[in-house]
Amino acid sequence: MKNAVAGLGLAPDAAMVTFPMDMFLPGSDLGPLKARRREFYHGLTRWKSDFAQAEAGASAMLAVEGATYGEALTRANNLLLTNLWGDGLPLWPATRERADWILQGAALPRTHVIGKFPPRGGVTTVETCAVALAMAGGRPEYLPVLIAAVEACLDPATFFDQLQATSGGPFPVVIVSGPIAKEIRVNSGFGCLGPDPQRPAGASIGRALRLLQQNLGGALPGTGTMAIYGAMRYTNVVLAEDEDALPGGWPPHATERHGFAPGTNSVSVFFASGVTNIRRRGAKKETPEEDVRNGLWRMADFMRTPNLAALAGWEHGTPGMMMIPPVVAQTMAELGWTKHSVREFLWENSKIPMELLRRAGAPAWIEIDANPVTRDSIKLDPWPISATPGNIVFIVAGGSHPTHAHWLQAHSPRVTGRVVRVPETFDRLLADADRDLGCGAGACRI
């Protein structure tokens, strides 16, 4: 509630009368409502805000002391946790030195305001992004991707305020495109959803984004975000499409979805609420044609479920992202499949018969959707999980191994793209990374 009013630009100390969840369930005892009527009347008449602009202005510096550096570091982490600014894993306190180091990756002034992080409305600047990235163990060359991802999240069309607060717990998925993905070590291969010590950028960038969601956006479990389960959001998802492995004629995701020219450094952000493995490869004897077609059916069959996860993105967003490994993409391409035709197959064959929707009580959710186009889709039988095949995000990523595909079910009103801007000194930052981390853009030890 405090987040909601602060995010609207009101003082955050709203008049409140709070009750346990039970009272809001069907058939509940509403006696407590009557018993506490005077509190309602007070809130509606005599209540006044006590907020005195104390939180306005530039972010403050905090300080701790310890007999040793280790003790001071422990106390800093304790202070961050007790102020509800941590995630339970060790943090690097964003000292001036560390934040300034990260800011070497900024193409914009440190005071540049990107927006307000909903629902709480914390003012989001280049500096606050650098502070979060410093805490998350990041490096300067990661900052341009983090800032582009934050810009995408804060685009009003993304409906990020709702995504932050909703009980479904959607988390950002950031697809990095262009040469910057390899340059800063974002993984597109084996274990691309992490962790990967040779390609650690996605973990830090995603963790920094998560810290911003919590510390500026107020997404604290059970209050700022009603995410019932939380969905493994420590690092969100930051990965790259394996653009080098795309078969001829298969355009990169950023070109298909956002119209960015191939080779453009960019991010594409949507929101997922789960990740599922699909055993795509067959067993025993089968031809390449059977392998591809059976695998596609298994994917479509999985997508054809009346859990309404995709409703939020039905018209403009996405029902989810299907990921297939490069070796499978190559086989598909050799048999004449394209990204377009794969998407058409998945869309056509994941339509849900209205009878199954009715059995699950699903039509009521379609009927009350805020989007009239989505409401109107109730007339379709079978019901497609999105307005068009183009809504489905389909990328080539993962280890070059044919057995599995991955489906990231979405809760995403939009898929938002942003170009990544890097500072003039970016090459020096990459050279520093090679010096510090070794191996360069390609992995060299595994």
Nearest of 278, 340, 275 to residue 309 by alpha carbon = 275
Find the shortest distance in angstroms from Cβ 238 to another protein.
19
**What token pair was written down for 377?**
């889709």
164, 166, 177, 377: residue in contact with another protein (rule CB under 8 A):
166
- Closest approach, Cβ 65 to another protein, in A, equals 5
Residues 347-406 that bind another protein (CB under 8 A): 368-372, 375
Query: Nearer Cβ to another protein, position 24 or 284?
Result: 24
Q: Which residues, 195 to 234, sit near another protein by CB under 8 A?
A: 211, 215-216, 226
Subset of residues 120 to 139 that bind another protein, contact rule: CB under 8 A: 120-125, 127-128, 131-132, 134-135
Q: Minimum CB separation from another protein for residue 95, in Å? A: 5
Nearer to another protein, 168 or 423 (CB): 168
Q: How many binding residues for another protein (CB under 8 A)?
A: 83
For residue 36, how far is the Cα from the chain centroid? 40
Q: Which run of H or of E encompasses 373?
A: helix 372-376
* 368/444 with CB nearer another protein: 368
Maximum distance among all Cα pairs of the chain, rounded to whole angstroms: 78
Which phi and psi angles does 287 have, rounded to 5°? -85, 165
Least distance in Å: CB of 255 to another protein?
A: 35
**Residue 244, both tokens:** 């080098």
Residues 38-57 that bind another protein (CB under 8 A): 40-41, 44-49, 51, 53, 55-57
Alpha helices in 190-325 (DSSP H): 201-215, 253-258, 288-303
Within 8 A by CB and 6+ apart from 6, the residues are: 12, 119, 120, 121, 218
- Which H/E stretch holds residue 173? strand 171-177
146-165 positions binding another protein, by CB under 8 A = 162, 165
Ramachandran angles phi, psi of 278, nearest 5° = -120, 120
| CA dist., res. 37 & res. 24, Å (int) | 16
136 vs 392, beta carbon nearer another protein = 136
- The Cβ of residue 53 has, within 10 Å, a number of other Cβ atoms equal to 7
296 binds another protein (CB under 8 A): no
Binding residues for another protein restricted to 57-76, rule: CB under 8 A? 57-69, 71-73, 75-76
CB of 260 to another protein, least distance (A): 30
Mark the segment that binds another protein (CB under 8 A) among 2-10, 190-198, 305-313, 381-389. 2-10
